[in-house]
């Protein structure tokens, strides 16, 4: 819809311009402030320019009216244009808002360590990533989702040790001296019991079994994480193991060397990341010859860029923000364009419980499990809460308030609008086919506005995806539901002269609600 307007306006103005929504729908459907930017050039007032430009739009069929108000040029679409668009959309639900694009995108998100279940902080990035993925696909991007498994290094060793010690304490009944660093939490004890069942209690007898428990535990945790994700409708296309990458280190290292960005000092190998604005140079190989975590990420990004995507999006927890500079520097040193990497930071989620701060930590066992929250409020509400806020703002909510949310939850409000539409069709004893051929014209002002709102979905999706701000979709859906509820209260459909027209209009609204919800991972309810 927006594209048609841009095309039409461009034909007439013959120059670039900004198209936006007017402050008030009564002004028109779209507007441009171009007169302001022309004012200096033409040495005339914006108001005069806008009025002059208006008259040049008279002939165009897609506009009902073009008016100048306080320097803005406002465009009102014709009813026949809106009707034909809606009629087409209703016949093509799956492709409504869909398009073909040639850009390819690799989207990496979650990538939580396989050393414990997902907690509520992971959920934010997970839900945002998955929604971007679903929307991007719908918009026609060639987009692939990927999970990077940190299955190498100390953390996984620590997991093995923790399970081992838990087994010795809880299964063998031995007295344990716990080291400073280990994973706490019920799930470690649970794992020890499962290991006891699958591997036998003898696994806890000898220290050399710790390595076995590490690998075993990591696989179990990965299964658990995947199951946690599946519970909120998230399935990854691809998993990449950090461990499997290290034998390619030599090849990646050669590239860095070829660009002269490495050096030896103190028996260690460094990269000159300060050349590209990092705070300090970084060690990539320790003095004992073991590569660091960054080395793994260098190989991984080398591997990613070799796969040749147009764009790489990583969603990280905000506590990793200090990591961006060194990874971008490394990508540059490998000989790639680091601007193709875009990092979205999902800010911290702080939880309260009964007004008290609820401290979260991966290492300690007192984090709140994502699966617990899902069990209490459901996947839809969890997704909606995280999708309603910009990812880069700190988010705080009280878990008790969150539990209470029922009718106050906007997800119910939107679902109710959708269910109402189904209900009214049922009550009228009609289906979409019965009203499909009717033309949507001579509608009231309110009905036209409702129709227009429903038809905005495609451009909202596009805007949300391109700005990577999914809250635009939830905002839109809340607004569309509100317009529908208001209209419903003020207008009787069944038995009115315009019954079929209004049913068709409602069908269009229902479709936008349904498609929009689907793309943020929520299934619209047929009835409540």
Out of 488, 498, 514, 524, the residue judged to bind RNA by CB under 7 A: 488
**Which strand ranges, in their side-by-side order, compose the sheet holding 63-69?**
30-32, 72-77, 63-69
Closest approach of Cβ 394 to RNA, in Å?
6
- Member of 201, 274, 292, 303 binding RNA (CB under 7 A): 292
* CA gap 416, 517 in Å, rounded: 13
For the chain, the farthest-separated pair of C-alpha atoms sits apart, in whole angstroms, at 90
Nearer to RNA, 203 or 450 (CB): 450
Cα 421 to Cα 415: distance, rounded to the nearest angstrom: 10
| One residue of 260, 266, 289, 308 binding RNA per CB under 7 A | 266
The closest of 23, 10, 27, 12 to 77, measured between CA atoms, is 27
Count of residues touching RNA (by CB under 7 A): 88
What span, in angstroms and rounded, lies between the C-alpha atoms of 157 and 164? 11
Candidates 55-63, 328-336, 364-372, 419-427: pick the segment binding RNA (CB under 7 A): 419-427
Least distance CB 174 / RNA (angstroms) = 27
Closest to RNA by CB, 370 or 503: 503
469 is a site residue for RNA (CB under 7 A): yes
CB-wise, 21 or 168, nearer to RNA? 21
Nearer to RNA, 191 or 203 (CB): 191
- Return the DSSP state at 152: S
**Which of 125, 167, 410, 510 is in the footprint of RNA by CB under 7 A?**
410
Question: Of the listed pieces 26-34, 121-129, 195-203, 514-522, which binds RNA according to CB under 7 A?
Answer: 26-34
DSSP summary character for residue 321: G
Q: Could you identify the residue written with the tokens 């465009």?
A: 75
Q: Which is nearer to RNA, 249 or 397 (CB)?
A: 397
How far lies 85's CA from each of 8, 22, 92, 129, 451, in Å?
A: 16, 21, 11, 31, 10
Interface with RNA, residue 463, by CB under 7 A:
yes
| Binding span for RNA by CB under 7 A among 65-73, 184-192, 195-203, 364-372 | 65-73
- The answer to whether the Cα torsion of 372, 378, 380, 384 is positive or negative is negative
The 10 Å Cβ neighbour count of residue 70 is: 11
The only residue of 77, 82, 113, 262 in contact with RNA, by rule CB under 7 A: 113
SS3 71: coil
Where in 181-220 is the site for RNA (CB under 7 A)? Answer: none
| Minimum distance from residue 300 beta carbon to RNA (Å) | 11
Contact between 343 and RNA per CB under 7 A: no
Q: If binding is defined by CB under 7 A, does position 418 make contact with RNA?
A: no
Instruction: Report in angstroms how near the CB of residue 115 gets to RNA at its nearest.
Output: 7
Structure tokens at 416: 């109710």
Structure tokens at 490: 């003020």
Q: According to the binding rule CB under 7 A, does residue 70 interact with RNA?
A: yes
Question: Site map for RNA, 295-314, x if CB under 7 A?
Answer: --------------------
Which phi and psi angles does 261 have, rounded to 5°? -110, 15
* CA 296, 297, 298, 301 torsion-angle sign: positive
């Amino acid at each position: 819809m927006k594209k048609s307007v841009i095309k039409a306006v461009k034909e007439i103005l013959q120059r670039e311009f900004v198209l936006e929504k007017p402050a008030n729908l009564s002004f028109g459907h779209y507007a441009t402030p171009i007169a302001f930017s022309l004012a200096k050039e033409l040495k005339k007032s914006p108001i005069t320019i806008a009025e002059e430009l208006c008259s040049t739009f008279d002939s165009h069929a897609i506009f009902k009216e073009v008016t100048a108000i306080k320097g803005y040029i406002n465009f009102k679409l014709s009813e026949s244009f809106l009707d034909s668009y809606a009629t087409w959309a209703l016949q093509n639900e799956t492709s409504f808002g869909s398009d073909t694009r040639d850009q390819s995108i690799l989207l990496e998100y979650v990538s939580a360590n396989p050393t414990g279940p997902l907690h509520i902080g992971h959920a934010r990035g997970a839900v945002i990533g998955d929604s971007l993925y679903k929307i991007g696909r719908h918009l026609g991007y060639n987009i692939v989702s990927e999970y990077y498994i940190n299955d190498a290094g100390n953390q996984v060793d620590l997991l093995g040790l923790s399970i081992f010690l838990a087994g010795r304490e809880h299964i063998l009944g031995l007295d344990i001296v716990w080291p400073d660093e280990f994973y706490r939490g019920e799930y470690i004890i649970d794992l020890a019991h499962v290991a006891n069942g699958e591997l036998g209690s003898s696994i806890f007898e000898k220290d050399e079994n710790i390595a076995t428990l590490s690998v075993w535990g990591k696989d179990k945790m990965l299964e658990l994480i995947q199951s946690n994700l599946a519970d909120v409708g998230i399935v990854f296309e691809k998993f990449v193991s950090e461990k499997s990458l290290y034998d390619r280190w030599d090849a990646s290292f050669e590239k860095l060397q070829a660009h002269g960005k490495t050096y030896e000092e103190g028996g260690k190998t460094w990269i000159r990341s300060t050349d590209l604005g990092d705070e300090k140079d970084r060690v990539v190989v320790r003095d004992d010859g073991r590569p660091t975590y960054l080395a793994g990420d260098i190989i991984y990004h080398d591997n990613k860029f070799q796969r040749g995507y147009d764009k790489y999006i990583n969603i990280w927890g905000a506590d990793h923000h200090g990591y961006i500079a060194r990874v971008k520097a490394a990508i540059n040193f490998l000989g790639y364009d680091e601007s193709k990497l875009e990092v979205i930071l999902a800010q911290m989620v702080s939880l309260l419980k009964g007004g008290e701060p609820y401290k979260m930590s991966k290492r300690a066992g007192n984090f709140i499990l994502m699966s617990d929250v899902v069990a209490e409020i459901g996947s839809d509400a969890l997704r909606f809460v995280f999708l309603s806020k910009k990812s880069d703002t700190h988010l705080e909510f009280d878990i008790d308030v969150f539990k209470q949310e029922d009718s106050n939850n906007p997800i119910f409000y939107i679902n109710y609008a959708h269910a109402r539409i189904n209900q009214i069709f049922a009550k009228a004893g009609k289906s979409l086919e019965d009203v499909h051929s009717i033309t949507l014209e001579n509608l009231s002002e309110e009905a036209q506005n409702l129709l227009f709102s429903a038809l905005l979905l495609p451009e909202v999706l596009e805007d949300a995806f391109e700005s990577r701000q999914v809250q635009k979709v939830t905002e839109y859906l809340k607004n569309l539901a509100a317009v529908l509820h208001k209209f419903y209260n003020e207008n009787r459909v069944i038995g009115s002269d315009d019954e079929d027209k209004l049913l068709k209009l409602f069908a269009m609204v229902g479709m936008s609600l349904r498609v929009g919800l689907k793309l943020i991972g929520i299934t619209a309810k047929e009835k409540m």
